[in-house]
Amino acid sequence: MVGEVVTLPERRIVAPSQSLIVPRVANEFDCYALEPRDYKEAWTIAGKIVEARMFGKFSSHEQVFSVILAGRVRGVGAIMALENAYIVGDQVAWKSQFIVGSVLASGASDYLEIVESDEKRAMCVTRRKASHGGTGQERRVEFTIEHARALGYLNPPKEGKKEGSWLTQPEVMIATRCEVKTARRYYKDIISGMYEPSELHPDGKPIEEEK
């Protein structure tokens, strides 16, 4: 009948981290339909990605597979994990934006942001909600060029290598490192085991955990 309103049934889409109920519309694309449902499918998808040479930063089928599994633990899809991860030694490392984003996405933080930044120093502020294990008070964390130097970030490049971002973009790197330091100090339970590449030795051992 012309003008008749048709109510379509709801469809349940199961995401890696949560279940969502969304109304089904015409030509809807299920964004999780291509996600692997078990380790066999994950292994197959990893092989296809290697064949396609989509992510050259991973050297093997096994590395791609490992990153997909690591992403699933974090509640993200295969491609998002591959876009945000690296392999350092025997450890999966993550982009700093992904680490900080994991904190913000958790709902535990009212905010986590840089309030002061230059090429010598950055200051980050955050407030963890009392309902998520915090005190509800604002906390401040500082990271300076001296911290970076002590951690070896400012060491000159090896012969034949280009200068890294710490030498060419110190203000950006100091601010980024300050955000991650804040996340690690006040949201350990959320980002446990997550490191950015600069926090790891070539063998994958965390730098800051050395005493």
Domains of the chain, residue spans: 39-93, 96-199
pTM of the model: 0.80
* In the block, residue with structure tokens 């509800």: 136
Write down the pLDDT at residue 204. Answer: 85
DSSP summary character for residue 129: -
The total number of residues written for the chain in this structure = 211
Pairing of strands 19-23, 85-88: unpaired
Residues forming beta bridges with residue 113, ordered by sequence position:
125
Q: 59-109, pLDDT tens digit by residue?
A: 999 999 999 999 999 999 999 999 999 999 999 999 999 999 999 999 999
Write down the pLDDT at residue 46. Answer: 96
Q: 115-168, pLDDT tens digit by residue?
A: 999 999 999 999 999 999 999 999 999 999 999 999 889 998 888 888 889 999
| Residue 29, phi then psi, degrees to nearest 5 | -105, 125
Pairing of strands 138-144, 109-117: unpaired
Q: Which tokens in the block code for residue 62? A: 């096994």
